[in-house]
Structure 1
């Protein structure tokens, strides 16, 4: 039996312009069909650059208008399609906003944010998965709903709903770390480690049993990273001197792995060279950065030392299941127990305040703001 009312409140982005052409409206509630579920949205993440994207200032982000924007969310199952075999009404789930085409794995979208470059991606974004989670109810793919152990997470571990949103930020670097096979006891460099995704990478690598070398340009911010786990985190300041930085990164031996999670502005940074040069023979590097231009690479070293350098965008469904298991077992700690700030919660009508709050803080551990319809 469905628990969905005939009408629900949703945040509609009417057009791309500044100031934001966006408003809360009441409209017909979504309904589940084959291959889909409808979730009652409890808490949806707000990215630090959400306001820039939805005003058209941050490019390239492609999405149809009008549509309901959004992101990954925590929700309860309100309805399921006839082919659902696992999900039950009322069940607490994590909705993963990274949607992959069922008949074409090259068609990829970030639900509520952007479509990919292919025709298939645009078909998904403009059609079946057009509307996202900044609403009371959202229709989503069945395979993107991951059941959560509510008794364990909200009971035994005493997390709040908004704490669980951080799973979304963790999933991105976790996918890159698993892609290069990070093992317990290995030394892993994360650079830059002081941003939102870099901080999440540090937390994820610790949960996987690694020793972490956190690299960045801000000494004060690096010390905050180290304070999360001084016994297993060391820090290296990125000075721009490749030789000196490589020496510092390897002072206790070469690294087994390296995760790059640079913003697009880091195209002139020298850390890619120094971190790759700091890898041991047959070491592995995962490149997840957003640099838009060409960057220099130490090709001769990569060749001579049999290094593996892999590009990785996002993560797999199995990565998400393993990550949630780490959270549920307590190996990966959220909230203050893991040194992660708790997000501020905003109602749907205060979307502008939520976007502003998220934009104010782009560094460190945690999600700054969530929308709770």
Structure 2
């Protein structure tokens, strides 16, 4: 039986149209609950550096096409406002994490990023346009049941005196970002006690990878061309700034790690085209080591030494997003207290802005680096 709070007939939403810069706040109908979905009251959306181009430019990056018009957003914390008859566990009023990796229910190879990317195939584009056109930059959002995850609010937000972790809800909105590197590190079976080199280590997803690897009990070596950014991590991790000399940089990584590393987690942005750090980090991987490629580097080819891979029995794994079991595991890691959030993870909330004032939030993101933190649209 469906259950709901009293929902207003209309709501405010940030609407994105291709060819037009920025987002426009509009009054639109509040979505109705359908089988296989819940309606969530949106409490906080994550806005980081990578979102600026998508939100402010007339068109998004070439690879991240989406239907138009659309409501962006998908890295979100909300509260269940209405449930469908086939909901079996979620309750109205429950605090939930919403994440954007939507798969076709009859074909899991059909994949979209809710509120950001319609996918490459005709089937994925149809799924995005016909069903999941609108994301979470709104007062309410209709979300797939399988992308809506219950959170232990008492544990995460409760007072430490009562056994809680004391997080404010906007701090929790970084949790969906952690799912991406967690999925990658789990895909190469990173173990407690192992050493992982993360490169680059000064972006939103790579900072999350550093925090996740630490929570998993691994030792981190941070590599980045952003020397100023790395200085902020120097009290916590061994650091390497690549020089462009592959042999020299490989030696520096091995020296910083105290030996060859077990895992290389690569999370390069498109701007890293031509950088030699991938070669250096790969060469620092030990016999039977693993490499996880998670980045969006746009090189048509990446130099890899075939002989080195063969002679060292190295496994290379590409990792796009994550599996459902990874989201479950991530939430457990956060609720246990092992995974730190907010300032403790080096990812503080720079500011909180209402939907109507999201432009001020984007201004703040633009003035800061990923290492400074992120903005919550609340």
TM-score range, shorter chain: over 0.9
Corresponding position of 1:358: 365
| Mapped contact 1:285–1:310 kept (Cα < 8 A) | yes
Which of 163, 171, 181 matches 2:171? 163
For 1:105 and 1:282, the matched residues in 2 are separated by 31
- By how many angstroms is 1:243 displaced? 0.6
* In structure 1, C-alpha distance between the alignment counterparts of 2:250 and 2:28, rounded to whole Å: 57
Which residue pairs with 2:243 in the alignment? 239
Q: C-alpha distance in 2, partners of 1:64/1:339?
A: 34
Question: Given the superposition, is the C-alpha separation of residues 183 and 161 from structure 1 closer, same or farther in structure 2, using an over 3 Å criterion?
Answer: same
Work out the number of aligned pairs and report it: 365
Answer yes or no: is the 8 Å Cα contact 1:69–1:132 preserved in 2: yes
The separation in 2 between residues aligned to 1:12 and 1:71, in whole angstroms, is 14
Q: How does 1:35-46 map to 2 (within 5 A)?
A: 35-46=36-47
Q: CA deviation at 1:18?
A: 4.6
Question: What are the equivalent positions in structure 2 for 1:184-333 lying under 5 Å apart?
Answer: 184-227=192-235, 229=236, 233-251=237-255, 252-293=258-299, 294-333=301-340
- With over 3 angstroms needed to count, the CA separation of the structure-2 counterparts of 1:189 and 1:58, relative to structure 1, is same
Which residue matches 2:161? none
| Deviation for aligned residue 1:225 | 1.6
Contact 2:4-2:81 within 8 A present in 1 as well: yes
Pick one of 63, 84, 87 that aligns with 1:84: 87
- TM-score, normalised to structure 2, is 0.93
Q: 1:17 to 1:50 in 2, by over 3 A?
A: farther
List structure 1 runs of 4+ shifted beyond 4 angstroms. Answer: none
Segments of 5+ residues of structure 2 without an aligned counterpart are 159-163
Residue 70 of structure 1 and its aligned partner are, at CA, apart by 1.4
1:338 maps to which residue?
Answer: 345
Distance 2:100 2:361 in 1: 19
Q: Name which of structure 1's ranges 168-177 and 37-46 shifts more when overlaid on structure 2.
A: 168-177
Per-residue CA deviation, residues 226-260 of structure 1 (Å, 9 max, x unaligned), is: 33x3xxx2111111111111111112111000100
Given that 1:189 and 1:257 are in contact with CA atoms closer than 8 Å, whether structure 2 keeps it comes out as yes
Choose from 88, 98, 113 the match for 1:110: 113
Is the 1:199–1:225 contact (alpha carbons within 8 Å) kept by the matching residues of 2? no
How far apart are the structure 2 equivalents of 1:243 and 1:275? 10
Cα offset, 1:362, TM superposition: 3.9
For structure 1, the 5+ residue unaligned runs are none
Contact 1:214 / 1:235 at 8 angstroms: preserved in 2? yes
Correspondences of 1:129-148 after superposition (within 5 Å): 129-148=132-151
- Cα shift readout 1:265-308 (whole Å, capped 9, x = no counterpart): 21211111111111111000000111122111112101111100
Shift of 1:57: 5.0
Deviation at 1:26, TM superposition (A): 1.8
Q: What secondary structure, in the 3-state scheme, does the structure 2 residue paired with 1:226 have?
A: coil
Q: Does 1:2 align with 2:9?
A: no
